[in-house]
Amino acid sequence: MSFRDWYRVDRLPTIYCAGCGNGTVINCALHAVDALAWKKEETVFVSGIGCSSRAPGYISTDSLHTTHGRALAFATGVKMARPDLHVVVFTGDGDLAAIGGNHFIHACRRNVDMTVICMNNWIYGMTGGQGSPTTPVGASTTTTPYGSAEGVFDLSELAVAAGANHVARWTSYHVKELARAIQTGLETPGFSLIEALVQCPTGYGRRNQLREVSDMIEFLKTHAMLLQRYRKLVAEGKPVPAGIFTVGEFVRRNRPAMGVSP
Amino acid sequence: MTRTEFLQGNVACAEGALAAGCRFFGGYPITPSTEVAEHMALKLPKLKGVFIQMEDEIASLAAVIGASWTGARAMTATSGPGFSLMMENIGYAAMTETPCVVVNIQRGGPSTGQPTLAAQGDMLQCRFGSHGDYSVIALSPASVQEMFSLTVKAFNLADRFRVPVFLMADEIIGHMRERFTIPDAVEVVPRRPLEKGALPFAAGPDGVPGFPVFGAGHGVHVTGLTHDERGYPRATSPDIHQELVMRLVHKVESARREIADYMVVNPGAERVFVSYGAPTRTVQQVLHDRKDRTLGHLQLRVVWPFPEFALHEFPDAKVFLFPEMNLGQMAREADRHTDVPVVPIPRLGGELHTPALLEKTLEAHP
Amino acid sequence: MKLVIDEARCKGCNLCLLVCPYRIFQEGTKANERGIVVPALDRPERCPNCRLQKLYGRTLCGVCQMICPDQAIRWDDEAPREPQKVVIEF
């Protein structure tokens, strides 16, 4: 069995734009699920609303495509009622951190045993390219035509502070590391967040001089810095290059978790 | 073992849920429904059930829907402000045909209103509160015994029709204490499971699909988007959308007579009181005091879908008098269905109609 | 095994070009029936998975397949005595 066997092939090709990073992240997630030899009948995918959240519609397990921002609350209900089922959540930056912000921090606090894969493309893609809580300062979107002037969430740091057991961030360029991080998340009891920075050439890239898929991937490749290296630079007081973001495993710990299968 | 208890309405409601097999409660505290949650928090763990206090009412109903898809009978309880928050997910439950029970112990509104006083101001909201067209079932208890029995009925109806079912009580019935009986066993009619090989959202013979429970290998995709019989999103198809919405509405509306539950007193009467919930008690008092057979009483236990045929049980009626703790929400619905004049008797402010108030109305309509 | 790009799925995003360490994928030249310019393959027999998957019993490299957002890349068994040449299939 390979990860491709988890797809609903009658639903392919996906609705995603050419070069969308979401397809890549789904591949990595299914790769991880398959590597652990999970069974389809025991796995449930839950999602909110958005491009990211269309993912379960392409996977041939039981899945719950819910209302905007509330995926974690639905997933909590599924997991607490049947702790023996594996629950994986697909969500996006707006779905998780804007409308879903409250459910996000509480799910981390409760440390419910589920794995959340956030496809963070710095934009609201499905609705046409509006700003999100992770849109970089100065970026142009349809609702920030003069450049975004709001502060930005660091979703991984939020999850760490709120109490998640495992938090990691990678990009859709680093496919092997992403698949490995998702696998670690699936194995770790408690709440696990894997933030995947993905390219949205149509929504984000087009308005921010990164229209070509290759441009956005180059951006992700060159602006990613390993967390250890970043922490070392900061500890030594050396300057951190502008515009970079950190990738790697933020935390892996053993706080008491809810809904762990007995 | 059948036992007699002297308990609060809210607690009776929780006991009814447990007797009906409810093993998941996701809720959020809100006066005057909090006792339902507290009693479930106490009893569920002892029955290997799950109680979880969620971060808000939206998450509460979301967790209930999620749990329902794993096969559990799941319930939440709230009041006005929380009920308004739940509207989006109520629409989701209706669209995805998720059985669940939502208890609303109504209080004075709008907005924060009168948290500790009764009202019946959410009756239209429970039917039409979410966006789009859909159909739901709503029950209204008028005593602590009915808080128990109608909660049991709510679960059976939810499973039978795969809709969200509302228990529209009010603070008076919720907080009053009365003697009531808990039978040793109640009738439990579980969901019809999906047959192997059948499409998960194809209508059964009665318009209701079999239930594809999670974890049984059905591989069902559940979505709030317009979907076809396989459950796959087909949001851009006018025909599929029309077919789906018509089926969701029709499966409940066409079964109005089967779902209906009402009580008729003095069917030959010319002046008939129609009531549901707390004002029923006042009407019963008036009929008891007067012993007048020309006064009739129609008590509705199922309020939605509205049983217009119940009005026809009074062929000689010249006027329907409708006391409600709102500005005539159900009276306007009754009015649509009959040429006999319907006189709403509204009462706001949180206090129940008094017999004197009803007497005054009777004098005005000889 | 031979490398196959499924033309029914490929959307021409060219992500595979960016990641292949052997630069097997090249810019395509002609649009197909769907209007997509599918990448061309330059000596795909250099792909370690083509050569060694059968020997090691697992996927080697495989980054192109992982990164392809449309699941359009796969490796198929070759027919016996087929010349070592990869064909792009419909």
Q: Residue A207 carries which DSSP code?
A: G
Contact A73 B63 (CB under 8 A): yes
Q: Indicate whether this complex's ipTM tops 0.90.
A: yes
Residue B205: is the preceding peptide bond cis (ω within 30°)? no
One fold for B3-182 and B263-364: yes
CA of C70 vs chain A CAs: smallest distance (Å): 6
Contact A106 B55 (CB under 8 A): yes
User: Which distant-in-sequence residues (6+ apart) come within 8 Å of B362 by Cβ?
Assistant: B271, B286, B295, B321
CATH topology of domain C2-76: Alpha-Beta Plaits (3.30.70)
Q: Residue A56 carries which DSSP code?
A: G
Domain ranges across chain B: 3-182, 263-364
CATH topology of domain B263-364: Rossmann fold (3.40.50)
Check contact B-A (3+ Cβ pairs < 8 Å): yes
Q: Give partners of C (≥3 CB pairs < 8 A).
A: A
Half-sphere exposure of B67 (CA within 13 A, CB side): 29
Contact A67 B222 (CB under 8 A): no
Nearest alpha-carbon partner for B299 in B252, B265, B329: B265
Q: Which CATH number describes the domain made up of B3-182?
A: 3.40.50.970
Domain ranges across chain A: 3-252
Q: What is the pLDDT of residues B80-99, one digit of tens each?
A: 999 999 999 999 999 999 99
Distance CA A236, CA A219 (A): 26
Distance CA B164, CA B154 (A): 9
Contact C69 A217 (CB under 8 A): no
How many other CB atoms are there within 10 angstroms of residue B336's CB atom? 9
Q: What is each CA distance from B160 to B137, B191, B209, B229, B258, in whole angstroms? A: 11, 6, 10, 19, 11
Q: What is each CA distance from B119 to B12, B283, B306, in whole angstroms? A: 20, 17, 20
CATH topology of domain A3-252: Rossmann fold (3.40.50)
Domain ranges across chain C: 2-76
CA of B22 vs chain A CAs: smallest distance (Å): 11
- Give me the residues of chain C with pLDDT under 50, please: none
- Top residue of A26, A27, A172 to mutate, by most chain C CBs within 10 Å, is A27
Residues from chain A contacting residue C13 (CB–CB below 8 Å): 18-20, 213
* CB contact residues (below 8 A), chain A span 73-132, against chain C: none
Phi-psi region of A164 (alpha: psi -120 to 50; beta: other; left: phi over 0): beta
User: Tens place of pLDDT for every residue, chain B, 366 residues?
Assistant: 899 999 999 999 999 999 999 999 999 999 999 999 999 999 999 999 999 999 999 999 999 999 999 999 999 999 999 999 999 999 999 999 999 999 999 999 899 999 999 999 999 999 999 999 999 999 999 999 999 999 999 999 999 999 999 999 999 999 999 999 999 999 999 999 999 889 999 998 888 999 999 999 999 999 999 999 999 999 999 999 999 999 999 999 999 999 999 999 999 999 999 999 999 999 999 999 998 888 999 999 999 999 999 999 999 999 999 999 999 999 999 999 999 999 999 999 999 999 999 999 999 998
CA of B62 vs chain A CAs: smallest distance (Å): 5
Residue C13 near residue C38 (C-beta atoms within 8 A): no
Q: Is some CB atom of chain B closer than 8 A to the CB atom of A174?
A: no
Residue B37 near residue B75 (C-beta atoms within 8 A): no
- Give me the residues of chain A with pLDDT under 70, please: none
Minimal Cβ distance to C66: which of A12, A28, A214: A28
Residue A41 near residue A33 (C-beta atoms within 8 A): no
